[in-house]
């Protein structure tokens, strides 16, 4: 994606519109929320790429709402357009879960490996990279299992989902806040989902997709 952090917000925004028009397309039905030129919107405050770092871009788009009002709407994009990935790892028929501390919630979560996309890598390559980095996995096979939009009200990009069969795991990525790894049968993980112990959206989506595609070794 266009390098934007040091540019003025509107200049960075116009560069993104020029280089990646697909990120600014409007729905042909006319019933959606249209992105308009900044001068055509009643948009108090800054418009454009209002924040950028090596991981995310925060955009404040000038828009026209379906009822004719104009204003602004914020959304998050990754720093690159490389496909992000989340992967459900299976070892001897059990799901490999990480206990990971997340700064955003200031709490521990049970999760599957996931990560931002790395420029130049495919979604599958990114999934394999996350497996290796986070749990030192030895991967036997990997299968695509759909995609998920983590928060369609705020985040623009989808995340590709995979199911991986492992022959073993190694060291965890302590620096990323991973405390330990557990292996659960699909039924045990179902119980943790039902009792509220597992709330991570990627894990919930990956389990749903894997079950519907008959990729779990649980006899269902």
Residue 4 within any structural domain of the chain: no
CB 75 within 8 A of CB 162: no
Q: Is the domain of 110 the same as that of 34?
A: no
Q: Is the domain of 59 the same as that of 102?
A: no
Greatest CA separation for the chain: 59
Residue 122 within any structural domain of the chain: yes
Burial of 180 (0-12, 13-18, 19+ CB in 10 A): exposed
3-state secondary structure of 105: coil
Residue 3 within any structural domain of the chain: no
Residues with Cβ within 8 Å of residue 81, at least 6 apart in sequence: 1, 20, 117, 157
Q: Is the domain of 194 the same as that of 149?
A: yes
φ, ψ of residue 32 to 5 degrees: the values are -90, -170
Quick: pLDDT tens for 148-177: 999 999 999 899 999 999 999 999 998 999
DSSP summary character for residue 79? S
| pLDDT at residue 87 in the model | 98
Quick: pLDDT tens for 34-91: 999 988 888 777 899 999 998 899 999 999 999 999 999 999 998 888 999 999 999 9
pTM: 0.90
Cα four-point dihedral sign 174, 58, 126, 186:
positive
Residue 42 within any structural domain of the chain: yes
């Amino acid at each position: 994606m266009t390098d934007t952090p040091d540019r003025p917000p509107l200049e960075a925004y116009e560069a993104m519109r020029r280089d990646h028009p697909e990120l600014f397309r409007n729905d042909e039905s006319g019933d959606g929320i249209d992105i308009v030129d900044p001068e055509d919107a009643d948009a108090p405050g800054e418009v454009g790429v209002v924040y950028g770092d090596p991981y995310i871009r925060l955009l404040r788009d000038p828009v026209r709402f379906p009822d004719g009002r104009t204003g602004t709407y914020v959304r998050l994009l990754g720093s690159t357009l490389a496909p992000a990935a989340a992967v459900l790892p299976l070892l001897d028929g059990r799901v490999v879960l990480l206990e990971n501390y997340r700064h955003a919630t200031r709490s521990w979560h049970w999760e599957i490996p996931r990560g931002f996309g790395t420029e130049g890598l495919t979604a599958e390559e990114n999934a394999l990279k996350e497996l290796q980095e986070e749990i030192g996995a030895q991967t036997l096979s990997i299968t695509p299992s759909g995609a998920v939009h983590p928060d369609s009200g705020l985040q623009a990009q989808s995340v590709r989902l995979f199911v991986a069969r492992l022959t073993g795991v190694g060291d965890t990525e302590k620096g990323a806040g991973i405390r330990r790894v557990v292996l659960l049968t699909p039924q045990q993980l179902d119980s943790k989902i039902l009792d509220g112990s597992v709330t991570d959206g990627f894990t919930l989506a990956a389990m749903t997709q894997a079950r519907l595609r008959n990729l779990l070794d649980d006899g269902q």
